[in-house]
Structure 1
């Protein structure tokens, strides 16, 4: 009997120990909420539309920012292209070589390349009034005598060249003066003619290149442009 009692006591102690050491189930326990938490409220249809509108506005701002960034990049690319672009010009014509050389030295530091182009031109220089050449010197002297008899004394006999034995009645800058002289001699019964004398001369052009935009105030061709001198665009040499 005493042994049975001891066995029951030991059994109770083992059961109590098992209950103490075994984990407590929490599946059915509702934990209390912390104080101060905001209550979650469901949005109605109007609130949902407002949220969508805000999202669309944010997306529009984002797209606009992207467009602005793209435009800025495009502007930078355009400026880069302009800075590398080469424009070619011609300045002239110059009849005075010394003035052209001085100008070439003046613009050399502002342009990437400058060269001189020369071309020969001809212009009307004088109007020569004359009596056509006689067959020989004797006939020329006889014609000179007849002219003096008509009170025409300002002439001379050409002694050499293609116009040998002709009688020169004068050189004139203006055609109206030459025509007046020819008419006066012709009215006295002499055959007179006018020959235009041309003069050859050189003209000069400055061909130059400018890289990028001309910086304001640093280089301008306006001060070099005068009567008869102009600036023209030209194709750049490849």
Structure 2
């Protein structure tokens, strides 16, 4: 009796295992979680085909194709304002030019530089310094003529009275040659520039426009505003 009941139990268990085996889902069926998923899914990069990667939108472009921000190259492509160069002045000396330069603070100029310009003399004169009196001056003039120096006259007034003028020349070289000739003949004379000589001072500036330069001229008190080559700035 016990053996018969055990055989029946084993048969029932076998029938149950066989029924489960036949009713189980196939191995290639889609998982339930995948069937229930909705919307976009996440994949590993190696799971995405190469062709789909190349078609993906750039991170700098929005989903509707509108650009998100300008690139660095587009920002750098903006052309700078054209710079023009001018000279302001002339100023009588460096002190006056420095005061004008201080007045230009905050004027919008890109660059301000001080430049000194030498002024050539109008000519050169050769003369002997004043002698003791008129008689001494006349005696010296006679000696000069005997030595072959005819271009002379005795000065009769002013600070150089009783001196002897020995010629006027257009450049320093000719005046120095005259002095050397007199020295070789035994006469001492000096060469001096005629005219103001000296120097003038300019402010060389760089501006973005003529209007900025004109305003700078008024602020500095300069009489002249003239264009200047920026390469010489």
Q: For the superposition of Structure 1 and Structure 2, which TM-score range results when normalised by the shorter chain?
A: 0.3 to 0.5
Query: Is the radius of gyration larger for structure 1 or structure 2?
Result: 1
Instruction: Decide which structure has greater helix share.
Output: 1
